[in-house]
Amino acid sequence: MNGRTVMPDGSVSTLCRQCDMHCGIKIQVENGRLTKISGDKGHPIGRGKICPKGTAALEMIYHRDRILNPLKRKSNGRFEPIPYDQAIAEIARKLSNIKAETGARSIGAWTGEAIGFLQQEEYARRFIHALGSPNYFSAESVCYAARHIAYHLVQGYYPACEDYANSQVILIWGANLEITHPPFMREVLQGKKKGAKLVVIDPRKTKTERHADLVVRIIPGTDGALVWGLINHLIQNGKIDTEFVRQHTVGFDDFRAYAEKFDLTCVSRETGVPVDIISQLAELIARNVPRISQYVGISFEHQVNGVNVIRAIVSLGNICGSSDIPGGSPWPEYPAVRSLTLYDHLPLDDFKPIGADRFPLLYQFRKQCSSLMAMDYMLGKGDYPLRGCIISGANPVLTNPNAAKVKQALSSLDLLVVKDLFATATARLAHYIIPAASFLERSELHYYPNKNLAALTRKVIEFEGIRNEYDFWKDLADALGFGARYFPWPDETAVNQWIVEGSGLDLQALEKHTGGIAYAPVRRRKFAYTPFPTPSGKIELTTDVTAFRGLPPIPEYLPPAHRPGRESAAVFLLATGARSPFYYHSRYRNIARFQKRKPNPVVEINTLDAERLKLSHGEKVRIVSKTGELVISAKILKADAVLPGILQIGHGWDQGNVNLLTDDADVDPISGYPNLKHVVVSVEKV
């Protein structure tokens, strides 16, 4: 391995970017090698703790399977190394041809979670936009944007992390923070130490549940009924913050009238949650208003009425008066840094961004094109052809729904370029694979908006010939003739300098203080002197924005189309993608010590269901959905670990891709997000 450290020997402080939490870490440099990684005790995020994924960073960068040379696929399907400059020249020529033949919008750029949501993705957006195409795709077609839309519809902002540490009741809706967001979980436990009660609402037992004071084992897809039941109970018992509601909300009369349908008995019938548990929960909230904080998990984005359920949950917090108060849901502030995107300079909205017609809010709020619809455009079923795509830091063959279609669509492209550290399932379909630089090979700005801190990840190592994200997009722009105009900065440090210029942030200071520098004092109750950033300036308990879908102003509850146990005994509801502590989507499957712990994908099934199917632990089952089928080993769970009739399979496995079963057409009408949590399947023993 030809890595060369760019720091002197000793201990270097920086941020972990093995996931989006950005915990502080320390890396030991010895004789030009990175030898050890550990948590940075002095950093406010992580406080010296590091999770299994974080510990794998060095194994990942020095991995023997890492791609160190650009590769080109030959007509016989094999890949062979080619010089980087030649690869860039060939890719640029092919992009020019596509642009000349069918227009720039026939080309898309796509980034994944590994790239993050700030400047790394902005390079891709800037490039594709400068080329003349509006088609930027990302993992945000299946993650985060739907929740962003929901929060924005109600209150105009997303509270990056609620104030769990000072809360009195913490509600975790369909999420497993202990595994998925360890630093948030630590704040939850801090809150618990000070007396907060923790409620976990999930059809399945999770690690997070171990800390719960109240567990709500709910029928999947019925959370909307529970939220409305709680809203009704609080209103009926006069437990809401009437003054806040009067001054700062719109739509309350209709909101209250709709809630009246949800008395606790009917909610219990709908959700399968015993009345006494619902009453305990309602009373717990009522006693502790307004210091209520909540976390809404990915399970809501991955269901067909997800945006509206999240809107109802956010509204619950708001009528309790927990917006932007200590112990509630903070309204975050961001530094006044510059954006690298070109939306204000080069409007391309008239070029029909893919998905902007069907899912206008995804485009309006996040400037995201629909990656699900991109597949149709690649297959010639769109308004115009999508013929070229550059993917960086994503693995859609394993992470997008309807994997067989994704594979077919990507294989049909005239040009597919994938920039990755490894020859992933997606990279293997590419015409060119470009080696990627990991987070330890670049420097980027990061913000912790719940603490008003800005921080910088530091470049600690470089590998000969591997270009980082900025350099790659700049090289391509140079080859296409628009580099000087749109990518004028010589390197990443110059970009960072440009981003912070005029914001009051100082790059050298950030470099020194990896624990972050405050960009503004933390202020709460901003609504007392600033209107909420919604059209009315108030919390919108009702909105006309969803009328484009023929939806009413209230975020109504929609009973799920299928319920476990209601149909034939062979029909199950499959939840996909519950996170494992070792893996991050498709990542880290090649880390040997993780493989030993969790070598294969499994389907989790309740022992009562297993008995009915005469199934033993480890036996193979065939799972069939409307979209496809999968043969997979069974892992039998205790009767109380999951509701009967519900299955769970993790995503990201090459040798058992659960997205062969998920459907790209079964979507939330507001966000366009796929149903990945409640897939109807049948099961048989093989």
Ligand X SMILES: Nc1nc2c(c(=O)[nH]1)N[C@H]1C(S)=C(S)[C@@H](COP(=O)(O)OP(=O)(O)OC[C@H]3O[C@@H](n4cnc5c(=O)[nH]c(N)nc54)[C@H](O)[C@@H]3O)O[C@H]1N2
Residues in contact with ligand X by the rule CB under 6 A: 19, 53, 112-115, 139, 142-143, 173-177, 179-180, 201-204, 206, 218, 220-221, 223, 297-299, 302, 392-396, 399, 419-422, 424, 436, 438-439, 575-579, 581, 583-587, 651-652, 658-659, 662, 676-677
CB of 559 to ligand X, least distance (A): 12
Report the partner that residue 40 touches, choosing among ligand X, ligand SF4, Mo ion, none (CB closer than 5 to 8 A by kind). none
> Which of 63/524 has CB closer to ligand X?
63
CB of 576 to Mo ion, least distance (A): 12
Of 630, 619, 618, 580, which is closest to residue 179 (Cα–Cα)? Answer: 580
Report the partner that residue 581 touches, choosing among Mo ion, ligand X, ligand SF4, none (CB closer than 5 to 8 A by kind). ligand X
Of 325, 366, 351, 1, which is closest to residue 147 (Cα–Cα)? Answer: 366
Of 22, 309, 331, which is closest to residue 161 (Cα–Cα)? Answer: 331
Query: Which residue(s) pair with 350 in the sheet?
Result: none
**Phi, psi at 398, each rounded to 5°:** -100, -15
> Which of 84/117 has CB closer to ligand SF4?
117
The set of residues, in sequence order, having a beta carbon less than 8 Å from that of 76 and lying 6+ positions away, is none
- Please name the residue that has the structure tokens 């990896």: 514
Report the partner that residue 224 touches, choosing among ligand SF4, ligand X, Mo ion, none (CB closer than 5 to 8 A by kind). none
Which SS3 state, helix, strand or coil, does residue 208 take?
helix
> Which of 181/678 has CB closer to ligand SF4?
181
Is position 143 an interface residue for Mo ion (rule: CB under 5 A)?
yes
Residue window 157-196: x/- pattern of binding to Mo ion, with contact defined by CB under 5 A:
----------------------------------------
User: What is the distance between the alpha carbons of residues 580 and 652, in angstroms, rounded to a whole number?
Assistant: 11
Q: Which amino acid is at 194?
A: K
CB of 454 to ligand SF4, least distance (A): 17
> Which of 51/632 has CB closer to ligand SF4?
51
CB of 182 to ligand SF4, least distance (A): 5
Report the partner that residue 663 touches, choosing among Mo ion, ligand X, ligand SF4, none (CB closer than 5 to 8 A by kind). none
Residue 211 contacts residue 189 (beta carbons within 8 Å): yes
Report the partner that residue 16 touches, choosing among ligand X, ligand SF4, Mo ion, none (CB closer than 5 to 8 A by kind). ligand SF4
> Which of 395/452 has CB closer to ligand X?
395
Which SS3 state, helix, strand or coil, does residue 205 take?
coil
User: What is the distance between the alpha carbons of residues 558 and 83, in angstroms, rounded to a whole number?
Assistant: 55
CB of 673 to ligand SF4, least distance (A): 24
Of 393, 400, 396, which is closest to residue 425 (Cα–Cα)? Answer: 396
Q: Which H/E stretch holds residue 312?
A: helix 306-319
CB of 584 to ligand SF4, least distance (A): 7
> Which of 180/452 has CB closer to ligand X?
180
Report the partner that residue 436 touches, choosing among ligand X, ligand SF4, Mo ion, none (CB closer than 5 to 8 A by kind). ligand X
The residue of the chain with the least Cβ separation from ligand X equals 577
CB of 344 to ligand X, least distance (A): 27
Query: CB-hemisphere CA count at 13 Å for 150?
Result: 29
> Which of 54/553 has CB closer to ligand SF4?
54
CB of 673 to ligand X, least distance (A): 10
CB of 114 to Mo ion, least distance (A): 11
CB of 452 to ligand SF4, least distance (A): 19
Annotate 231-259 with b (16+ C-beta within 10 A) or e (fewer). Answer: bbbbbeeebbbeebbeebbbbbeebbebb
What is the contact surface with ligand SF4 in residues (CB under 6 A)? 16, 18-19, 21-23, 46, 50-51, 53-54, 182
> Which of 16/416 has CB closer to ligand SF4?
16
Residue 479 contacts residue 130 (beta carbons within 8 Å): no
Report the partner that residue 173 touches, choosing among ligand X, Mo ion, ligand SF4, none (CB closer than 5 to 8 A by kind). ligand X
Give the binding range for Mo ion (CB under 5 A) out of 140-148, 237-245, 536-544, 613-621: 140-148
> Which of 182/355 has CB closer to ligand SF4?
182
Q: What is the DSSP string of 512-530?
A: H-TT-EESS-----GGGTS
> Which of 310/337 has CB closer to ligand X?
310
> Which of 37/240 has CB closer to ligand SF4?
37
Report the partner that residue 672 touches, choosing among ligand X, Mo ion, ligand SF4, none (CB closer than 5 to 8 A by kind). none
CB of 300 to ligand X, least distance (A): 7
CB of 479 to ligand X, least distance (A): 19
CB of 281 to ligand X, least distance (A): 13
What strands, in cross-sheet order, belong to the sheet with 10-15?
A: 10-15, 24-30, 33-39
The set of residues, in sequence order, having a beta carbon less than 8 Å from that of 120 and lying 6+ positions away, is 111, 393, 442, 444, 469
CB of 589 to ligand SF4, least distance (A): 15
Computed on alpha carbons and rounded to an integer, the radius of gyration of the chain in Å comes to: 25
> Which of 394/605 has CB closer to Mo ion?
394
Report the partner that residue 23 touches, choosing among ligand SF4, Mo ion, ligand X, none (CB closer than 5 to 8 A by kind). ligand SF4
3-class secondary structure for 554-574?
Answer: CCCCCCCCCCCCCCCCCEEEE
Of 45, 37, 35, which is closest to residue 455 (Cα–Cα)? Answer: 45
The set of residues, in sequence order, having a beta carbon less than 8 Å from that of 469 and lying 6+ positions away, is 115, 120, 123, 124, 392, 419, 436, 437, 442
Annotate 525-539 with b (16+ C-beta within 10 A) or e (fewer). Answer: eebeeeebebeeebb
User: What is the distance between the alpha carbons of residues 310 and 194, in angstroms, rounded to a whole number?
Assistant: 28
Residue 632 contacts residue 655 (beta carbons within 8 Å): no
Report the partner that residue 18 touches, choosing among Mo ion, ligand X, ligand SF4, none (CB closer than 5 to 8 A by kind). ligand SF4
Q: Residue 190 has which token pair?
A: 């801090």
Give the binding range for Mo ion (CB under 5 A) out of 22-30, 136-144, 168-176, 632-640: 136-144
Is position 19 an interface residue for Mo ion (rule: CB under 5 A)?
no
Q: Which amino acid is at 464?
A: E
> Which of 143/480 has CB closer to Mo ion?
143
Q: Residue 427 has which token pair?
A: 């990279």
> Which of 297/321 has CB closer to ligand X?
297
Of 469, 480, 434, which is closest to residue 98 (Cα–Cα)? Answer: 480
CB of 143 to Mo ion, least distance (A): 3
Report the partner that residue 174 touches, choosing among ligand X, Mo ion, ligand SF4, none (CB closer than 5 to 8 A by kind). ligand X
Is position 386 an interface residue for Mo ion (rule: CB under 5 A)?
no
Return residues touching Mo ion (CB under 5 A): 143
